[in-house]
Amino acid sequence: MLRFFFLVAVVVGASISHAGLSPNYIIKAAKSGDSVAQLLLAEAYYKGDGLDQNYTQALHWYEKAAVAGEPEAALMAGEILLEGLNGERDERRAVMHFKSAADKGLPEAQYIYARCLASGSGLPVDATNAAVWYEKSAASGYKPALEYVNKQRFFSRLHKELKEPCEASDVNYLLSRFNSFSSFRGLSDSDKALARKEISRLVSHKAPPKLKKEFAAAEGRQGLFYLVKWKYSYGFIIGFLGDNKISELDALAVRNIERVTSVMISDQRREYNQEVKSLGRSIEALKASVAFERNQKEELESSYTLAQFDEVKRERKAHRKTLYSAFSSELLAMASNTKYVTEFDKVVSEYMYSGDGPTELEKKYSIARRVYTPFIGYPGGDYLNALYGGDWTSLKRYDREYMEPYTTGYIGQSIKALGKVVDSLSAMGGQKSTAGRDMFRSFRNSSLITPVLSSYLVNYDAKYSTCLRPDAVKFKKTVTSETVYRNGFGNRVGGYKNPDQISYFTVNKEFMDIFKKVGLAEAESGNARFIETIFNPNSSSMSNLSGVIQGIDNIMDDFKCSDPKIKRLEANMIEYFNI
């Protein structure tokens, strides 16, 4: 019974004084060979609990309990001997006790024994065997062992991957993901700091030679891209290099940029002579020069703006300047003889490089272009100028741009789905419906010309009344509506008819049939306006519905109905609507 009480005291960690035990009872039991009493007595001497603190006596009773098979006693005996608390440090004897406790499965003893093996304390260094005991301790969940094993695993993996043959990109990739290694995440904050320090050391040793080798091997356009953007490409490496090393590598990259661009510039001059100057002083040479410059800018991308290319670009610009002067009249005539503004712009694009800055020829082009684009600056100006010029091809492209969101992608699928719902409801009522197909086809074939003409004609008598002829046609629009009251179940419980809203519209006779087709409803209502309000699509040509309607409205405010530009616009609106 007394032994059981001793055992409980040891398990709960109670001292003999707290447990209410008399030292004499403990001593008597210990001398009788009770290992638990021996352990408890050793603890009392070690801590000075109920007895005078005496490390020699503590060691004596710990060793007694250890011989009797108590692993905790062996651990404590080893610690006293290792630290020399009894006045005599004995590493070899301490290690024997640690090994005894470790063999009995005590995680802390396994960890300490592993450290002794690793450091050679009390026995020869044995890193392999130390690793085995670290793993055993960690497997038991002992935190210091877990941290140590994680650290070793991390460093082992790090050294292995960096020692294997690899390129700078491999090093950068490794650094980009080391934070995700489970072995790194398991490290303590202090070990993480040590890990980063070690990574910095390894990277400083490993990366620069590889980068220098890659710099030296860089050639051509791709090599130039690499040299210009090397710090962006290897951002993780940069994060572990010191400022001095980065500056050194940057300076080396610049020297190699000079080397690569020098070769490229020679190639550019040779190619320019073959492709452009070989054509002599001709308009074809100007076209070839513009195309050459655009190709260089496209191929070199951001590297095109490097200072190293400035001189050769100035040479080509000076050459084009002489050709601009020589063929200014011919180029202007060529552009002015085009039918549409898109064709005009194509000529300008082929024979003039925008990067050359303002030139006399460019000013003349700008003036000549106004003939094609009287409505530039107005909302929907691209569309309205195409109408003015009779450019049906561009108009159809703008119409497709506007309707594309309603026939493709999410919106198109939604419209199809809505049509199927309508068809299904009709089928449930015993009727066959093609609403889905008709709705989709209606959107696909829609054109902005319908709302443009509708807006123009609805406002005609208000803004252009002076141009209404005696044979003008008047239309009457009647809107009938009803107010309905319903109960909570949606059933009608009453209502009344609202007064009719009557409006009158007057247009010239040539617009009579079109006005009937576009309908008497105001242009800003209807499917197109509704869908734009809900989905707000964007058009690169600024030719969305609200834009062109606002544009035509502003034009009617700014131009007289007798203006030749308005007459031409009217004629082309009618023709395009009837196509």
* DSSP secondary structure of 27-56: HHHHHTT-HHHHHHHHHHHHHTSSS---HH
Q: Do 156 and 286 reside in the same domain of the chain?
A: no
Q: Do 105 and 157 reside in the same domain of the chain?
A: no
**pLDDT at res. 173:** 83
Q: State whether residue 380 is helix, strand or coil.
A: coil
Which of 141, 169, 198 corresponds to the end of one domain?
141
* 488: in domain: no
* 568: in domain: yes
- What is the spatial distance between Cα 551 and Cα 546, in angstroms, rounded to a whole number? 8
Q: Report the pLDDT averaged over residues 135-145.
A: 91
Q: Do 105 and 254 reside in the same domain of the chain?
A: no
Q: Do 28 and 121 reside in the same domain of the chain?
A: yes
Residue 184's identity, in one-letter code, is F
pTM of the model: 0.60
Nearest to 298 by CA among 346, 258, 359, 353: 353
Residue predicted with more confidence, 402 or 125: 125
Q: Do 356 and 392 reside in the same domain of the chain?
A: no
Nearest to 506 by CA among 479, 480, 471, 478: 471
**pLDDT at res. 300:** 93
* 487: in domain: no
* 246: in domain: yes
Comparing 25-29, 150-154, 264-268, 488-492, which segment has the lowest mean pLDDT? 488-492
Q: Do 432 and 460 reside in the same domain of the chain?
A: yes
Which residues, 6+ apart, have CB-to-CB distance to 354 below 8 Å? Answer: none
Q: Do 419 and 545 reside in the same domain of the chain?
A: yes
* 553: in domain: yes
DSSP 372: T
* 378: in domain: no
Q: What confidence category does residue 13 fall into, taking pLDDT thresholds of 50, 70 and 90?
A: very low
pLDDT tens for 422-437 read: 677 667 766 776 666 6
Q: What confidence category does residue 443 fall into, taking pLDDT thresholds of 50, 70 and 90?
A: low
Q: What confidence category does residue 441 fall into, taking pLDDT thresholds of 50, 70 and 90?
A: low
Q: Do 398 and 433 reside in the same domain of the chain?
A: yes
Which of 372, 403, 428 corresponds to the end of one domain?
372
- What is the spatial distance between Cα 538 and Cα 401, in angstroms, rounded to a whole number? 9
Give the residue numbers spanning the domain of 156: 152-259
* 441: in domain: yes
pLDDT tens for 451-504 read: 888 889 888 988 999 999 998 988 877 767 777 777 665 666 677 777 877 778
Helix segments in 218-327, DSSP class H = 220-228, 230-233, 235-238, 243-275, 283-300, 310-326
Q: Do 512 and 392 reside in the same domain of the chain?
A: yes
- What is the spatial distance between Cα 418 and Cα 511, in angstroms, rounded to a whole number? 35
Q: Do 186 and 116 reside in the same domain of the chain?
A: no
* DSSP secondary structure of 510-578: GGHHHHHHH-SS-TTSSHHHHHHHHH----TTS--HHHHHHHHHHHHHHS-TTSHHHHHHHHHHHHHHH
Q: Do 365 and 508 reside in the same domain of the chain?
A: no
**pLDDT at res. 259:** 96
| Res. 357: pLDDT tops 50 | yes
Residue 184's alpha-carbon distances to 174, 194, 238, 261, in angstroms, are: 13, 11, 20, 43
Tally of domains in the chain: 4
Which of 259, 287, 313 corresponds to the end of one domain?
259
Q: CATH code at 68?
A: 1.25.40.10
Residue predicted with more confidence, 422 or 556: 556
- What is the spatial distance between Cα 355 and Cα 128, in angstroms, rounded to a whole number? 69
- What is the spatial distance between Cα 384 and Cα 549, in angstroms, rounded to a whole number? 10
**pLDDT at res. 196:** 85
Q: Do 418 and 561 reside in the same domain of the chain?
A: yes
| Res. 531: pLDDT tops 70 | no
Q: Using CB atoms within 10 A of its CB, is residue 411 exposed (0-12), middle (13-18) or buried (19+)?
A: middle
* 558: in domain: yes
**pLDDT at res. 178:** 75
| Res. 268: pLDDT tops 70 | yes
501 pairs with which residues across the strands?
479
pLDDT tens for 157-201 read: 777 776 665 788 888 888 887 777 776 777 778 888 888 888 888
